Chain A
Amino acid sequence: MTAAAAVQPVLAAGAVGDFFEYAVRGIPFGCVYALLAVGLVLNYKTSGVFNLAFAAQAYASAAVFYVVRKEHEWALVPAALLSIVVVGAALGFLLDYALYRHQRTASPLAKLVTSLGLLVAMPEMVKLALGPGVKANPPPLWTVRRTDDFLWRVGGSRFVLDAGQIATVLATVFVVIGLTLLFRRTALGLQMRAVVESPRLLRLQGVDTDRVAVVSWILSSMLAALVGVLLAPLFAQLTSLDFFTLLVAAIAACVVGNLTSISGAFLGGLALGILQAELAGFLPTDSVVANGLRPSLPFVVLFALLLIRQSVRSARTVTDPLAGVDPPPDPPPADIRPAWMTTATRAFAVVVIVAGFALCAWVFDDYWVGLIAAGVCLAVVMLSIVLTTGVGGTISLCQCTFAAIGALATAQLTQHDVPVLVAMVGGAAVAAAVGAVLGFPVIRLPGIYAALATLAFALFFEGVLINLSWVSGGDTPLRVPRPTVLGTSFLADRPFLVLAAAVFAVAGVAVIALREGTTGRFLDAVRTSDTAASSVGINPARTRLVVFVLGAGLAGLGGGLVASFSGQANYSQSFTFFIGLVWLVLVITAGSRSVQAAIISGISFFVFPALLDRLFTWPVNFVDTNPGAPPWLLDIMGFFKPEWAQGVAFVLFGLGALTYAKHPEGIIAAQTSASIRRTVRFVERRRPAATSPSNGLDLEAPA
């Protein structure tokens, strides 16, 4: 009996037949999820990195394959070997050698931030290398013509798998079996897992941990390359966002396997694909339930798994038993700064602020003032990242969502003639309320799982809630007015800048007060040890929740400010998940506990690309206005392109995050500490020899 003949009776069995039909239809796409999930698990299992940049690595290799196979018409085998083996391996080696080797014992946050930085920077680097234009119709990793040679038909014409689907299923099965054997049957597999938990311990046993780690990275990077080349034909155009969209949907499958089980991730991916097909088949296609549930399925599943699974809630954070040999982190600048320098710094800060306002009032034109005002509004949202992640210690990937909630609530209230300033407070309250509901379960989750829960919420909001017209206002974004106070209008950008700066100042002072006050001390204790903090009467969950809720409210307030400045609550323009990731990367790079980092990040987000735009436009103008210049000079000038500005800005934003592992306190604090040490050394050299350094400062400590 053929397989087709065996399947036919089942198909004829009504709903049962439909169930099996939909299940079979869901398997190929389930394998897509599974392959991505296995890649993420492999990375996490062998490096401790929850590597969201896996999508960027896949995109990079797919781009190389596109160029050599389609544009340079290489044969399939050399193109595949170059893209998957050579580029994949080289990228893996580079990532380990240049980055992750130095983060072996870093915290999960540090590793996650590094991967976020790569996620932002790497696609832009690839795009800059590819040049402008759409990269359409990525070539497949097989030679069978995609559209008219279908290889397998079962049950008459009802089930048809094309070459791409068969390749994906086979690759997934091959990868799962291969990795399972590697981890269960080989010493290398055991060492790859052990190197994550304690590289020092492994070294004591004579294992070359660097070699093991680099093999892990090469392996996972080659898998990313395979995924990229294999899945690229799923898309009509080669874009990094498509890979990322698929990857985040696959995260639910990873959680099925507790982030460490290859077979669990495989089964999770498969189940997700099948469940999606069943919902598509059985739910009425035009029903409210279908419209709500189907697009949100991966995120609902992810969120539910995180909250329900006991193994997730009780997961322990892997800590190196020999971590105690690490030197203590550098003290924050405030702890090493002499009193006289604190006074001088504050005076200097006042001068800088006054000068900044003077420049905006009399020197900068409307364009730059507008950008700075937009940046200051955004800085209030950035401040919420400082509060939630830097002070509260919770890795939140949904601050952009809280900002959106605040903006939308502000807009809705102003439609009912509520003054916009009052509406902003209302928006902040709504965001805080949502934060409380979300935070209650989330802050109890350990480490990386809390981050994933906030990610699931952000994507659920982006995939489902924002599409409801009562939330977003429908096709046309809701308009938001500028405020008036006692008859004074803030319609123009300059007055609005003053208002935004005032809001930021108040919020900044509040954050500093909280950070330095009792709650801040509690949080410091909680960050060190939940158990120890509990033993002295601190309730870790309540303390974290309070800060999470305040952070959500602050993000909501910032969102309202952003909306009022831009004149509308436009989610796609201002608050998408991707934009939120860039914000997070910026703040953490600059300093996750620093109020200055918030303002610098906010302004940089808008001003830096504009500055680069001017920088790259200048050579073009030079060429246009100086045709008689030496040819070599015109060639050099002609090399630069204004359209590089946005890409280069993102590359620099992303690469900035790579410094986080070295300076978890942020670039600003690191540079401040270095400046303090240099200044104190300079001053001490000029004092009489008998005078000792003030406040016990270790002048030999590394900058």
Chain B
Amino acid sequence: MLAVALGATTVTACGNDWGTAPEDQGSPTTADSNTATTSGEVVAVDAPGVTDTEIRVGGVASVTNPLGGHYGDSFDGVQAYFDMVNAEGGVHGRKLVLAAKRDDKLASNKAEVDALLSVDKVFAVLPVATLLFTGADRLVRDQVPTFGWTINPEWEAKDGYPAYNMFGQSGSFLCFDCGTPTLPWLMEQAGAKRAGVLAYAVPQSADCADGVRASFDEYGKSTGTELVFVDKSLSYGPSDLSVQVSKMKDAKVDFVTTCMDTNGVVTLAKEMKKQGLDAVQSLPNAYDHQFLEEFGDLFEGSYVRTDFAQFEVEDKPEGLQLYLDKMEEAGKEPSENSMAGWLNAELFVEGLKAAGPDFSRAKLIDAINEMTDFNAGGAIDPVDWTKAHDQRKSDTRFCQFLSRIEDSTFVPVFSKPGKPFVCAVVTPDGVKTEYSA
């Protein structure tokens, strides 16, 4: 009886605290405690990390995590952009300072994110480029402007998770299992008909394979392509893919896409070459020059997709050229991660400018969320931030930059002068091709 009474009392007395009730939060519209004055050129701002001379931000990246991830060069992109802006006088009379470069090590993402807010007291968090992003909840709860590389599901706003303060390098929407016309369209362009997909038996990878399946269910017929081989039960880690390749050969697969890491795609490419499976590969995460240097011969003819204009494009957009010049000035190698950092920094600065001299965290977030065509000087396809958090930037238009690996180099394809991005556009008559600046 005593135990039952004690239990009942405990259940009654205890509750849950989810932080600020997520369902009560929308995109914030009220400014935090700013005291703006109009005397002098610098308007006083009462916000964490902001002084009369500086705006301090800090970021966190996976640098020494023993489980993998070497994303530290995202700091280089942010620093290069800040150096450029500071050389021109800063923003609102203040210098931009990347005050903290935190490494989230093993199991410490939340602690390092907390430290950015409580120890470094930064105004905004950028860049974030981490294997896991357990600190995201705090950033969403406190509505801290956050900019980073969208490889974690925490970037996307969902019901009950108002991540409208989280800004990826080219949108924050992530849907691994959503169908898009991108792959069927690419197959059509490449003259391929029969696709195969391989994935690990882990949630994100398997969901990605489901997304590929949904893509062909929806757009296969209109592009004359079909998915004939799916294997999403591969073990993570080293494995033998000889049987899978043999089966794809039997199924006359001529286009292969994967939801695997570097180990997986390299093992697959070796096996394909060994068994003589002459199929085009689509590589979603392979815009890596070291990867190409090491394994280019295995991937001849493969397509590599990015959401920014790749460095090899001939008619370089202004934003891309600026990035390449500033990285060279800084003595840093251009890379996908540093490009993401650069894009993060540019969005942050543009947002600050739009927020006005009496800026605050909330005003910055609102200002960015009102942008409808942020394109970083043409380095990315325009992002409509009014809907880039929780839905595709277009339900019918899917743009990307594509290159093909030839002689172990990235050769841009499907680009037009002044319009580096190619879009698969869904129309009532099928999937059409358009080009975008």
Residues of A within 8 A of B (CB): 21-22, 25-26, 28-29, 32, 123-124, 127, 132-134, 136-137, 146-148, 150, 157-158, 160, 162, 234-237, 239, 241-242, 245-246, 273, 276-277, 280-281, 285-286, 290-292, 294-295, 365-367, 370-371, 374, 414, 417, 419-422, 463-464, 467, 469, 472, 474-477, 479, 481-486, 489-491, 493, 566-568, 570, 572-574, 576, 578-579, 606, 609-610, 613, 642-643, 645-647, 650
How far is A472 from B207 in the complex, measured between Cα atoms in Å?
14
- Write out the residue numbers on chain B whose beta carbons fall within 8 Å of the beta carbon of A484: 14-17
Q: How far does the Cβ of A293 sit from chain B's closest Cβ, in whole Å?
A: 8
- Write out the residue numbers on chain B whose beta carbons fall within 8 Å of the beta carbon of A365: 118-119
Q: How far does the Cβ of A355 sit from chain B's closest Cβ, in whole Å?
A: 22
Q: How far does the Cβ of B266 sit from chain A's closest Cβ, in whole Å?
A: 4
- Of A123, A132, A481, A483, which one neighbours B70 at CB under 8 angstroms? A132
A422 and B11 in contact (CB under 8 A), knowing A273-B240, A285-B231?
yes
B106 adjacent to chain A (CB < 8 Å): yes
Give residues 206-248 of B contacting A (CB, 8 Å): 206-207, 229-240, 242-244, 246-247
20 further interface pairs, Cβ-Cβ under 8 Å (given A420-B16, A474-B207, A646-B106): A22-B243, A25-B242, A133-B70, A146-B270, A147-B270, A157-B275, A236-B295, A237-B262, A285-B233, A291-B201, A291-B232, A366-B117, A370-B110, A370-B114, A417-B16, A481-B18, A483-B17, A568-B134, A578-B67, A609-B108
- Write out the residue numbers on chain B whose beta carbons fall within 8 Å of the beta carbon of A485: 13-15
Closest chain A residue, CB of each to CB of B106: A646
Total contacting residues, chain B, CB less than 8 A: 79
Residues of B within 8 A of A (CB): 10-11, 13-19, 63-68, 70, 72, 103, 105-111, 114-115, 117-119, 131-132, 134, 137-138, 153-154, 158, 161, 176, 201-204, 206-207, 229-240, 242-244, 246-247, 262-263, 265-267, 270, 273-276, 290-291, 294-295, 297-298
- Write out the residue numbers on chain A whose beta carbons fall within 8 Å of the beta carbon of B297: 147-148
- Write out the residue numbers on chain B whose beta carbons fall within 8 Å of the beta carbon of A463: 201, 235-236
Count the A-B residue pairs with Cβ separation under 8 angstroms: how many? Answer: 237
Report yes or no: B203 in contact with A137, Cβ–Cβ below 8 A.
no
How far is A32 from B18 in the complex, measured between Cα atoms in Å?
49
- Write out the residue numbers on chain A whose beta carbons fall within 8 Å of the beta carbon of B298: 147
- Write out the residue numbers on chain A whose beta carbons fall within 8 Å of the beta carbon of B206: 291, 467
Report yes or no: A475 in contact with B17, Cβ–Cβ below 8 A.
no
- Write out the residue numbers on chain B whose beta carbons fall within 8 Å of the beta carbon of A246: 237-238
Report yes or no: A366 in contact with B114, Cβ–Cβ below 8 A.
yes
A567 and B138 in contact (CB under 8 A), knowing A574-B107, A646-B64, A646-B105?
yes
Q: How far does the Cβ of B66 sit from chain A's closest Cβ, in whole Å?
A: 7
Q: How far does the Cβ of B268 sit from chain A's closest Cβ, in whole Å?
A: 11
- Of B108, B137, B204, which one neighbours A568 at CB under 8 angstroms? B137
- Write out the residue numbers on chain A whose beta carbons fall within 8 Å of the beta carbon of B117: 366
- Of A242, A245, A476, A646, which one neighbours B65 at CB under 8 angstroms? A646
How far is A21 from B245 in the complex, measured between Cα atoms in Å?
13
Closest chain B residue, CB of each to CB of A234: B238
How far is A609 from B108 in the complex, measured between Cα atoms in Å?
10
- Of A29, A235, A474, which one neighbours B203 at CB under 8 angstroms? A474
How far is A132 from B63 in the complex, measured between Cα atoms in Å?
9
How far is A22 from B247 in the complex, measured between Cα atoms in Å?
11
Closest chain B residue, CB of each to CB of A287: B233
Closest chain B residue, CB of each to CB of A490: B17
Closest chain A residue, CB of each to CB of B112: A367
- Can you list 10 A-B contacts with CB-CB less than 8 angstroms, sorted by A residue number? A32-B238, A245-B237, A246-B238, A281-B247, A294-B234, A370-B110, A479-B137, A483-B15, A491-B19, A570-B132
- Write out the residue numbers on chain B whose beta carbons fall within 8 Å of the beta carbon of A290: 231, 233
Q: How far does the Cβ of B3 sit from chain A's closest Cβ, in whole Å?
A: 12
- Of B64, B176, B232, B243, which one neighbours A280 at CB under 8 angstroms? B243
Report yes or no: B233 in contact with A291, Cβ–Cβ below 8 A.
yes
- Write out the residue numbers on chain A whose beta carbons fall within 8 Å of the beta carbon of B13: 485-486
- Write out the residue numbers on chain B whose beta carbons fall within 8 Å of the beta carbon of A32: 238
How far is A606 from B110 in the complex, measured between Cα atoms in Å?
11
Q: How far does the Cβ of B155 sit from chain A's closest Cβ, in whole Å?
A: 10
How far is A613 from B110 in the complex, measured between Cα atoms in Å?
16
Interface centre among A162, A286, A472 (most CB of B within 10 A): A286
